[in-house]
A = this chain, B = another copy of it.
Amino acid sequence: MEPTIRDVARLAGVSKSTVSRVLNNDPKVSDRAKGAVGDAMRELDYRPNALARGLSTSRTGTIGLIMSDITNPFHAEVARGVEDLAADYESNVILCNTDGRPTKEQAYIDLLLEKRVDGVIFLSAKMDESDVSMLQARQVPFVFAGRTLLDVEADSVVVDSVLGGFQATNHLIGLGHRRIAHISGPARVSASADRYEGYCQALRRAGIFIDPDLVADGDFRHDRGYRAMNQLLDRTTGMTAVFAGSDYMALGALEAIYERGLKAPDDIAVVGFDDISFARLHLVQLTTVAQPKYDIGAIAARMLLERIGDPSADRPPQKVVLPPKLVIRRTCGDYLGPRDFDSETHRGDSQ
């Protein structure tokens, strides 16, 4: 059997309480006792039972991470940030893949509640539908990473997608493009709408007409990017650039472009969104709007763990907005107009 606090106590010649005290390094224990207990622990290779401890403290040192799919590189990166920070706080994270299905999400929430996690982080994409009511009822803190639920009071950390869309589009405008297409993300996802909004803002500011024919619906995924680009190529004329709502779609768009014997950036300039690791490959060299993926996770985790740290401090929900960053690579081509200086600045930023 595993040694318990009791065995340690007996071996060290003290009471369980004393052992417990050194375990939680209570200042008021004599050095003598501390030493004896330490020796005993080492000798027995004692390891406190987190279950028992959790049962009496009702803190488990575990948080849940609910996301649609860890296989998505973007999510994986965020998860990494969460995990690293949790480790700093001596907490563990339980992985929950929901595939975006509410049923699965609900089942996981139930499980996490049974395990008495200290809190949970939501990383799914949909802007509605998360049933956090159970968490609220049980007073389990939670934070949203990468999105917010408008009608729910909760911590959240997001990146400014409107700004990102603006940067991407504005960069294209700065390069001299006027007929700029957009391949949007899935409906019902706030990031989609925001990126489109940024696109519109940039166009408007430049006094460019927003042509509905220039926007095609996508869903963030590769295939739809490919199809959307083909539609655009078929239906519009004079298009010289496209801003895709995600890198995957931008990749799909590039394929469609190449398939027609066109070239990027010469014929069509392409800008993506996310900066997944493959965008960086020389083979691809995709200009894109980078999201601070790791930081999204790390900050979300920190917010959560801090709140767990002192539940008494009844601070209001915080909303952290992180800035995206334009990363200029090959697929958008070189600067054409007179504002070369600006362009250089951007380029500098991105390195």
Q: Tell me the complex Cα distance, A116–B94, Å.
A: 14
Q: Tell me the complex Cα distance, A226–B281, Å.
A: 11
Residues on the B chain within 8 Å of A45, using CB: 137
Chain A contacts to B: CB under 8 angstroms: 2, 45, 47-52, 54-55, 60-62, 65, 69-71, 73, 76-77, 79-80, 83-84, 87, 90, 92-97, 110-116, 137-138, 222, 226, 251, 254-255, 258-259, 278, 281-284
Nearest residue (CB) in B for A115 is: B50
Residues on the B chain within 8 Å of A60, using CB: 51
14 extra interchain contacts, Cβ-Cβ under 8 A, other than A70-B83, A71-B73?
A47-B114, A49-B116, A50-B114, A51-B60, A51-B115, A61-B115, A62-B94, A65-B95, A71-B76, A92-B96, A92-B111, A92-B115, A251-B283, A255-B283
Using known A-B contacts A55-B55, A84-B97, A281-B222, determine if residue A47 contacts B115 with beta carbons closer than 8 Å: no
Q: A115 to nearest B CB, angstroms?
A: 5
Using known A-B contacts A70-B70, A70-B80, A283-B283, determine if residue A50 contacts B116 with beta carbons closer than 8 Å: yes
Using known A-B contacts A62-B94, A70-B70, A76-B76, determine if residue A51 contacts B116 with beta carbons closer than 8 Å: yes
Q: A135 to nearest B CB, angstroms?
A: 12
Nearest residue (CB) in B for A114 is: B50
Q: A292 to nearest B CB, angstroms?
A: 14
Residues on the B chain within 8 Å of A87, using CB: 97
Q: A47 to nearest B CB, angstroms?
A: 5
Asked if B114 contacts A49 (CB within 8 A), the reply is yes
Asked if A47 contacts B97 (CB within 8 A), the reply is no
Nearest residue (CB) in B for A75 is: B76
Residues on the B chain within 8 Å of A51, using CB: 51, 54-55, 60, 115-116
Sample (30) of A-B pairs whose CB atoms are under 8 Å apart: A45-B137, A47-B110, A47-B113, A48-B114, A50-B116, A51-B54, A51-B55, A51-B115, A61-B115, A70-B76, A71-B76, A71-B80, A73-B76, A76-B76, A79-B95, A83-B97, A90-B111, A92-B95, A92-B111, A94-B94, A94-B95, A222-B281, A226-B282, A251-B281, A254-B283, A255-B283, A258-B282, A258-B283, A259-B282, A283-B284
Asked if A77 contacts B84 (CB within 8 A), the reply is no
Q: Tell me the complex Cα distance, A60–B115, Å.
A: 9
Q: A173 to nearest B CB, angstroms?
A: 26
Nearest residue (CB) in B for A80 is: B71
